[in-house]
Amino acid sequence: MKIKDKDVILKIVGWLLSSLCMIIGSYFVWPHIHVALLGIAFFYLGIRIFNFVTFKEYKEQRMKLLLKLSKW
């Protein structure tokens, strides 16, 4: 499998993981206001994952991560 294919797969998995973190964050923020900090942390984590897998400025770091994961 080529690196470009792995990069596309990483983007899709990252988008799904980011969406999941945001859904979990909304669960903690909305009905349980006393644990809102946990929800905010999940939102932040979801946004950071989305940024990492989407934007070009993180491409070099993504390639390093893919190389580390391919050694497994």
The residue ranges of every structural domain in the chain are 3-70
C-alpha–C-alpha distance, residues 62 and 58, integer Å: 6
Q: Which residue has the tokens 């988008």?
A: 15
Task: Please tell me what DSSP assigns to residue 70.
Answer: H
Model pLDDT for residues 27-69, shown as the tens digit of each residue: 877 666 677 888 888 889 999 999 888 888 888 888 888 888 8
pLDDT for 22: 87
Q: Is residue 18 very low, low, confident or very high in pLDDT (cuts 50, 70, 90)? A: very high
pLDDT in tens, 1-17: 777 788 888 889 999 99
Does the model's pTM come out above 0.85? no
Q: Please give the structure tokens belonging to residue 67.
A: 């190389």
